[in-house]
Structure 1
Amino acid sequence: MSLLSGKAVVITGSGQGLGRAFAHHAAAQGAAVVVNDIEAGLADEVAREIRALGGRAVSNGDSVADAERAAGLIEKCVTEFGTIDGLVNNAGVNYRAEPWADDPARMREVVEVNVLGPLFCGTAAATVMRARGGGAIVNVGSGSMIGQRRAAAYSASKGAVASMTASWAADLADHGIRVNAVAPVAWTRMARRDPSVVQTPEHTPERVAPLVTYLLSDLSAEVTGQILRFRGDILCVLRQTAIKDPVLERDAWSVEDIADAVGGDLREALEPPPSARWR
């Protein structure tokens, strides 16, 4: 029996790139797939490809940034396949801009698609999964969450994805719902359009797809609240934000006390400057 036999999953932004690879791999492992993409023609094409290979798939062209349409996307999965067992929040947009030249309209689009989209789809899916007693949500994050140059809006959006992953994992564990995130490195259209990305055409979306299938499958039944970094040849766990030792305590803190502490006892706990993390 295939890993996802009998399961129904929704994969957003799956008309191309990573999402398309996720949809094909999930279908090949037995899942019935709702292929969602705002470019409806691409979603239709991927769904046809899956059906031509003997799989089950339907397409959806709605924007996940609209709460009603996001809920309708989840409802379509239930209507077409009788249930929803998995959700992959993959849809996303990105751009680069210097902070002094950023565009409010583009910032808003990033937040609406990358943050509100997963929130709308995730809460709608969790409602159904809670009622049926279980499921799996996989959010697509990014290493950019630690702060990437010329990408403040995108970095902020992926930091939000990390936070919602941890929050949902805590809230939904008692209801049998696992929530994890992947932070993939892959050569996609988004990467090709970004001149700052090192060209790595061997890191194809297809190499990332098994990780998402694993998180949708029962093989990951004991795994939740994790962010897994994956490049196709490298797999590791990303640390969530947490308090670092030492924790200093005083009855009152003056400005000078704080300066002394940051320059003294806390100095070794300080994170490296951003220039040391991103080039």
Structure 2
Amino acid sequence: MAILAGKAVVITGAGQGLGRAFATHAAAAGAAVVVNDVDEPLAKQVADLITLRGGKAVVSAGPVQDPEQAEAMVDTCTAAFGRIDGLVNNAGIRYQAELGQDDPGRMRELIEINVLGTLYCTNAAVQTMRRGSIVNLGSVAMVGQPTALAYSASKGAVASITAGAAAELQDKGIRVNAVCPVAWTRMSAADTKAVHSGPPETIAPLVTYLLSDRAVKVTGQLIRFANGRLHVMGQTSPKEPVLDSDEWDVESIAEAFERQLELEDPAWVRWGVGR
């Protein structure tokens, strides 16, 4: 039996790129799919392709940063397929701009789509979802990437949303994970690592797995998948030693940093996301 047989999923930003790959792969694995995109003709092309291949798909076009559209996507899924079992928060934008020269309006738009869109769609889905899986789109840029500060901030927020939602929803049987992929798409054109990586279709099997019941024990994870390499990313935790004192002043703090606390390279250095 197909791994997603009998399941209904909503995939945002599915008109092209990663979202299109996720939608077609999930449909081939047996899922009924709600194809969302701000570009309705593109969304319809994907839905028609799925239907032509013998799958089930409907369109719910509109911007994810509109909470009414987020609710409409879920309503479309339950009306068309009687249920919602999965949500992929894929919709997002990215651009490069040096700090101090960035445009505030552009910053706001990115945060609204990448962060509020993820929050609104998740909030709408869990009102109806009875057990299931939510897959967010993260990025290693969350550790801080020069000339992409707004994007980095948005993906840091997505990581926090993933961890918080996974903890809150575990008793309801809803799993929440984030995929941090590298793949060549129109949006990733400014990322040199993505330019030399594989197509979106290489990422799709991971998302399909996370949507399936085979991944029932996987939740609250940040999962890196790039250039054939798959691994789980470590999350924030204290670094030993933890120093304890009844009184701290500038001198004792300086002493701690100079002689006792072991500093490490910033995450953006370790991940190679800086210049």
TM band (smaller chain): over 0.9
SS of 1:184's partner is strand
Deviation at 1:200, TM superposition (A): 3.8
* Structure 1 spans left out of the alignment, 5+ residues: none
Q: Is the Cα–Cα contact under 8 Å of residues 208 and 232 in structure 1 kept in the other structure?
A: no
C-alpha change, 1:183 and 1:219, in structure 2 (3 Å) is same
Q: 2:173 aligns with which of 167, 172, 176?
A: 176
Distance 1:202 1:123 in 2: 33
SS of 1:164's partner is helix
- 1:263 maps to what in 2? 258
Deviation at 1:275, TM superposition (A): 5.3
Does residue 141 of the first structure (1) align with residue 138 of the second (2)? yes
Provide the aligned C-alpha RMSD in A.
1.4
- 1:247 maps to what in 2? 242
Q: Deviations over 1:176-224 (max 9, x none)?
A: 00000100000000122x1x52464551100100000000001100110
> What is the one-letter code of the residue matched to 2:144?
G
Deviates more, 1:29-38 or 1:252-261: 252-261
- 2:266 maps to what in 1? 272
- 2:78 maps to what in 1? 78
- 2:118 maps to what in 1? 118
Deviation at 1:231, TM superposition (A): 1.4
Deviation at 1:269, TM superposition (A): 3.7
Deviates more, 1:205-214 or 1:230-239: 230-239
Does residue 231 of the first structure (1) align with residue 226 of the second (2)? yes
Percent identity of paired positions between Structure 1 and Structure 2: 57
C-alpha change, 1:200 and 1:57, in structure 2 (3 Å) is same
Distance 2:238 2:35 in 1: 40
- 2:192 maps to what in 1? 197
Distance 1:89 1:3 in 2: 20
C-alpha change, 1:44 and 1:100, in structure 2 (3 Å) is same
C-alpha change, 1:73 and 1:273, in structure 2 (3 Å) is closer
Alignment of 1:125-136 (within 5 A): 125-129=125-129, 132=130, 134-136=131-133
- 2:213 maps to what in 1? 218
Say how many residue pairs are matched.
273
C-alpha change, 1:199 and 1:185, in structure 2 (3 Å) is closer
Distance 2:2 2:227 in 1: 22
Distance 1:150 1:231 in 2: 22
Instruction: Give the structure-2-normalised TM-score.
Output: 0.96
Q: 1:188 aligns with which of 172, 181, 185?
A: 185
Distance 2:266 2:194 in 1: 26
Does residue 103 of the first structure (1) align with residue 103 of the second (2)? yes
Distance 1:273 1:88 in 2: 27
> What is the one-letter code of the residue matched to 1:167?
G
Distance 2:81 2:32 in 1: 7
Q: Deviations over 1:152-177 (max 9, x none)?
A: 10000000000010001100111100
Q: Deviations over 1:8-41 (max 9, x none)?
A: 0000000000000000000000000000000111
* Structure 2 spans left out of the alignment, 5+ residues: none
Q: Is the Cα–Cα contact under 8 Å of residues 66 and 117 in structure 2 kept in the other structure?
A: yes
Deviation at 1:242, TM superposition (A): 1.6
- 1:5 maps to what in 2? 5
Distance 1:273 1:221 in 2: 30
> What is the one-letter code of the residue matched to 1:74?
V
Does residue 66 of the first structure (1) align with residue 66 of the second (2)? yes
Distance 1:86 1:37 in 2: 17
SS of 2:128's partner is helix
C-alpha change, 1:82 and 1:183, in structure 2 (3 Å) is same
SS of 2:187's partner is helix
Q: 1:150 aligns with which of 140, 147, 150?
A: 147
SS of 2:100's partner is helix
Distance 1:83 1:157 in 2: 30
C-alpha change, 1:65 and 1:244, in structure 2 (3 Å) is same
